[in-house]
Structure 1
Amino acid sequence: MTITHGQIDPRDEIAAIDRRLFGGFVEHLGRHIYDGIFEPGHETADAEGFRSDVIELVRELGVSTIRYPGGNFVSGYRWEDGIGPKDQRPRRLDLAWHATETNQIGLHEFQNWLDKVGSDLMLAVNLGTRGTEGALDLLEYANTSVRTARTDERAANGHAEPFAVKMWCLGNEMDGWWQLGHRNAEDYGKLASRTAKGMRQLDPSIELVVCGSSGRSMPTFGSWERTVLEHTFDDVDFISCHAYYQERDGDAQEFLASAVDMARFIDSVVATADHVAAVKKSDKRIMLSFDEWNVWYLSKWEEQAVAYGPDEWPVAPRQLEDQYHALDAVVFGDLLITLLQHADRVRSASLAQLVNVIAPIMTEPGGIAWRQTTFFPFSITSRLAGERAVRVAVDAGTFTSAQFGDVANVNAVATVDAEGVSLFVVNRSTTDAVDLRIDVSEFGGELALVESHLLHEEDRYAANTLADPERVGVRRVEGAQVRASALAATLPPISWAAFRLA
């Protein structure tokens, strides 16, 4: 047993928390849209064909802004295909995921779904096979209130008022060889700058996200960000980060160090952005949109991916349907802690994705919807996180990571608001429990522990499945209490916990 001493001081503030940190991501991929959020024949389907059981789970998850419609999908997408009468919409081949897109769900339908789940829209434009003109057409259609041919068309399609989309992504992963229309940093930076300038002429109120590297392991990482920002620094508000993590070769301890990689990723992008600012002698600070992050067993998908023939283009095939276990959820919770620890520069983040595709929510056609293990850290953190992120100094020793060297056994962050404080903490040790002793005396008066949540399983590979959808859940932290202005609790190995004091 390791005794961990720490302190929460409300004056040790990181930043105010932008609620867009708890965003999500919906892509036209696999069974995410069709048979996921949209299944007209399902017993819970509403009048528009959306599954009400999924809507309730997305509400419970607490996602703020949802990025749409991709992802790789957007780099070949014609947004016009998804508007107008459904029986007149064209079926298209989606080269990104080798599938057929029916276009039965488009901008209007997706906005209607967002209204039901209580989330805001974040739109990505196609800078792969299209460019500035297509982006301007979509922006005019979505945001303009002046009467034009585009806005008349929007009204005829049932939305007289503008969608008023605030955040816009200038393409997706444009450094990736897999991306339709991928290009080098110089060419992309010029295109993104031209597009951003045009979009701001049309709607100066929007916020723009330029593509950063599609992963920290990309050979051009760092130099890509620098070159792209040299072209777009004055035109954009955010640069994107994408990162996915998985356990490799059964090494759970190394997997539990994943958040260290995320932290270094963030710090590197911040340093690069601030270098460009320094060169330009600018006080402007580019923020980060970590608009794709998750645990994703990409290597399994690459091994098991179905090779379709030249005439096989299925509709909504089962793709990227990872089954998450307890260990995944603990790492996932640690990634959320890391995002909060960087709330001063990470002002938006999108969990990729929401339903069926590497998702916290799973569905069965004609059957149930259920929560995966990763659902719980997200829903609880989103609900309990207060107004401001605060550092938590803890000392619980370290373990040695082959990739990162000495890594802290315990990682934690707190948030504060007028009513109290929330603490989020993870025990990364695979062998030792931790006795937490967190000093909260700086808050003055008496704080009471009003709720606690623990995610831990003796079987680290326990998962929620169609056959056993409630195998893994959260429970209160037994014995946790506030005494003598200190929170005391015991966390078992490989565990994530959240506490609310008020």
Structure 2
Amino acid sequence: MKAKLKVSEGFELAKIDNRIYSSFVEHMGRCVYGGIYEPGNPLSNESGYREDVIEAINELSVPMIRYPGGNFVSGYKWEDGVGPKEDRPRRVDLHWRTVESNQFGTDEFMDWIKEVDAETMMAVNLGTRGIQEACDLLEYCNLDSNSYWAQKRREYGNDSAYKIKTWCLGNEMDGPWQTGHKTAYEYARLANETANAMRLLDPSIELVACGSSNESMPTFGEWEETVLKECYDNVDYISMHQYFDAPKKGTLHHLAKSVRMDKFIDSVVAICDSIKAMKRSDKTMMISFDEWNAWYHSNEHDAAVTPWQEAPDILEDQYTFEDGLLVGLALITLLKHADRVKIACMAQLVNVIAPIFTNETGLFKQTIFYPYAHASNYGRGTVLQSIIESPEYEVEEFGKVPYLESVVIDNDDEHLTIFAVNRSLDQSLELSLDFVGYEAYQLDAHIEYSSTDPLVKNSFTSSIEPIEVEVNPEAKQLDIKPLSWNVIRLKK
């Protein structure tokens, strides 16, 4: 099969906000305890942080991490997780039906996040709590005043304020599963008043309002409209969440699910812009796609887990190669919307639906690790407008789907990076590059991640890893293998 990728110099979509490669750490399962934090393990440092996990996260170059939830945050008393550890209470988490020891809290997270050189995206509890508790946490984290919570932070050993910039106003408040679930108007009023109060404490912060938990929610659209009518002037982002379900209709259908993500983003952008027009506003609402991933492998196991355990092994999906390709396709989709999607968080980072999986003696990198690492490390710069000519296949749910999905990034006026996925099960694509204005660029590198078996998984004993493909610098065509994720680098 033949395909063509066209770009022209000067036709740019948007500068990429590097936070589009962010991730997510929630107090659930073994993400925190046994994942990033495991005191007493020989692999952990003196603070209890797993050093092998830190090393793997650093390979991902994660710019920002959302914390502490997720559904967990809607019942969380943040005060339980600060101060002397021996005084911290053990609490039940109603959503995941586990016991939280609170041995890892705000200060531990802010200490740990320096190890992975990332910013923090902090969520406040607007489920069981409200304006005062959100402001107390903001005061604790960001103020250098002589007020109560700022002084408490100093008392607990942290003289300097954390100066966290990005804050989530609750989590998935449209969901009936959420502790403290609210109607759109109930949430909108609370979020707007919380935003007002938080900005009085620290005008420098930016705020994310809850959008719909997914596009299948019966209130989708109406929820965004109601929330933005109330909050538009006081928030900077509306959130989006999406998880890709089981591939019950085969690999080609599974790999077409990024089309669903694309349409979902288009719909939310349209709603945001309609409110902008209605309000006659000069402000453009941006998107924080702060939860996304494939999630389905662990469902049967999780349903049988005994409640009220500490850090049980829940949501520990073992990803297939086709899941890895779908993650690559999702990253390409997010980049194609870089003009509006400024933050995106793969959920989650370690053990729980995650690219990194640990046991007591080590870790392995799941199939989804590699597209994420490549995008984060090579996908910085400006997204170029591109035209793709590709053979297509028909999917009942999505219509015609191209075998080739791709995006082109101008990294630094000296390098271009192409991310490309071939969805075909058995046919290579002969990809021609038609780059007008980039005649001085030559092929410099080609990283290929491919498999003939879409269902193969990585493990502690075996894994499929990307390889370097030899390139002819003068060539204008490349062979894109079936079922492959590709990073193609050009140098001026």
Say yes or no: does 1:436 pair with 2:431.
yes
CA distance in 2, matches of 1:483, 1:7: 17
Offset of residue 143 of structure 1: 0.5
CA distance in 2, matches of 1:10, 1:307: 56
Contact kept in structure 2, 1:481 and 1:489, CA below 8 Å: no
Q: Paired residue for 1:473, among 443, 462, 465?
A: 465
Offset of residue 343 of structure 1: 0.3
Instruction: Work out the number of aligned pairs and report it.
Output: 490
Q: Residue deviations 1:423-478, cap 9 Å, x none?
A: 10111122321011112341242x2333221111111111111232xx21101235
The residue identity in structure 1 corresponding to 2:481 is P
What residue number does 2:339 align with? 344
Identity of aligned residues (%): 45
What residue number does 2:388 align with? 394
CA distance in 1, matches of 2:5, 2:226: 41
What residue number does 1:184 align with? 183
The residue identity in structure 2 corresponding to 1:327 is E
Counterpart secondary structure, 1:268: helix
Q: What is the alpha-carbon root mean square deviation over aligned residues? A: 1.3
Offset of residue 483 of structure 1: 2.5
Offset of residue 385 of structure 1: 1.3
1:95-174 aligned within 5 A: 95-174=94-173
1:78-477 aligned within 5 A: 78-297=77-296, 300-307=297-304, 312-365=307-360, 367-416=361-410, 417-445=412-440, 447-468=441-462, 471-477=463-469
Contact kept in structure 2, 1:477 and 1:490, CA below 8 Å: no
- Structure 2 residue runs of 5 or longer lacking an equivalent are none
The residue identity in structure 2 corresponding to 1:130 is R
CA distance in 2, matches of 1:141, 1:259: 40
Contact kept in structure 2, 1:175 and 1:213, CA below 8 Å: yes
Contact kept in structure 1, 2:2 and 2:391, CA below 8 Å: no
The alignment's TM-score, normalised by the length of structure 1, stands at 0.95
CA distance in 1, matches of 2:254, 2:262: 14
Say yes or no: does 1:498 pair with 2:487.
yes
What residue number does 1:483 align with? 474
CA distance in 2, matches of 1:377, 1:236: 31
Q: Residue deviations 1:201-246, cap 9 Å, x none?
A: 1111100000000001111111110111001001100000000113
Offset of residue 47 of structure 1: 0.7
Say yes or no: does 1:61 pair with 2:60.
yes
CA distance in 2, matches of 1:260, 1:232: 29
Contact kept in structure 2, 1:62 and 1:383, CA below 8 Å: yes
What residue number does 2:31 align with? 32
- Structure 1 residue runs of 5 or longer lacking an equivalent are none
CA distance in 2, matches of 1:195, 1:61: 34
Offset of residue 307 of structure 1: 4.3
CA distance in 2, matches of 1:195, 1:140: 13
CA distance in 2, matches of 1:56, 1:218: 38
The residue identity in structure 2 corresponding to 1:491 is I
CA distance in 2, matches of 1:94, 1:435: 53
Contact kept in structure 1, 2:18 and 2:380, CA below 8 Å: no
CA distance in 2, matches of 1:427, 1:370: 25
CA distance in 1, matches of 2:4, 2:480: 13
